[in-house]
Amino acid sequence: MVELFRNIVNIISVAAIPLMFFIFVGWGIVRKVKVYEVFVEGAKDGFHVAIKIIPYLVAMLVAIGIFRASGAMDVVIAVLSPVSNLIGMPAETVPLAILRPLSGSGSMGLMTELMKVHGPDSFIGVLASTMYGSSETTFYVLAVYFGAVGIKNTRHALPAGIIADIFGMLGALFICRTFFGV
């Protein structure tokens, strides 16, 4: 069942991009759109968007870099340990939960490390990979998406994003304890 679902999604994922190109361009030709000219017209903006993101991304990544390099993560983990103990989250996975919204490459490294030490099919290994798959790098998405349109006042996007992250981590913990529980 899982295998079938996985195969179907895999096929869609592999074929999606070429199929999308084919349908979009094909449809354009049928509707007599000057495809080449229109493509170039649209593609022109690519450069500007990418350049506009730079200051936002520099601000965000540098702050996260300073935080991680200082070892402040250990302090946060110590502060959070009573909470994580209470909800039954293994101490080893707490750093991953904190790092997940902050740094994509950092949390990927941490997940790999946990699997290397505890084995990918151990409870901690399954939980770590589920936690990684249960959320996105919130701060990166925020910086890139808002940066592209020059939004400085992000209003309630960050609190809502963090609430989503917390529930993602709690959901991952709950489901893993239910099915692979210790």
Partner 1 sequence: MLNYVWMSLIVIGLIVGVGKDISDEVRNTYRNGVPMDAVVCVEKTPTALRQTWEGELVISSEAFNRFYGITSAASEVRQPVEMTTLSSGKTTIAILVDDSSPAFWKEMAKNSSSKDKLLGTVNAVKFSEDKTTVQVSFLLEKISYVKIRAITKAALDYADTAVTISLGLIGVMALWLGVVKIAEEAGLLKMLTRLLRPITSRLFPDVPADHPAVAAMIMNIAANMLGLNNAATPLGLKAMEELNKLNPNLGTATNAMCTFLVINTAGLTLIPATAIAIRAAQGSAEPGIIIGTSIFGAGCATLAGLVSVKILERLPRYKKDLLVDGHNSESSHG
Q: Which of residues 15-74 bind partner 1 (CB under 8 A)?
A: 16-17, 20-21, 23-25, 27-28, 30-31, 33, 35, 38-47, 49-51, 53-54, 57-72
Long-range contacts of 39-42 (CB under 8 A, 24+ apart): none
Q: How distant is the alpha carbon of residue 172 from its chain centre? A: 14
Helix (H/G/I), strand (E/B), else coil: 181:
coil
Angle 35-43/2-30 helices, nearest 10 degrees?
110
Helix (H), strand (E) at residue 127:
helix 123-133
* Least CB distance to partner 1 at residue 85 (A): 21
Residue 15, number of CB atoms within 10 A of its CB: 11
* Least CB distance to partner 1 at residue 91 (A): 19
Closest to partner 1 by CB, 88 vs 159, is: 159
- Return all residues near 165 (Cβ < 8 A) that are at least 6 apart: 100, 101, 135, 138
Closest to partner 1 by CB, 82 vs 179, is: 179
Q: How many residues bind partner 1 (CB under 8 A)?
A: 107
Contacts to partner 1 from residues 105-164, by CB under 8 A: 108, 111-112, 115-116, 119-121, 125-126, 129-138, 141-142, 144-146, 148-161, 163-164
* Least CB distance to partner 1 at residue 10 (A): 7
> Does residue 167 bind partner 1 (CB under 8 A)?
yes
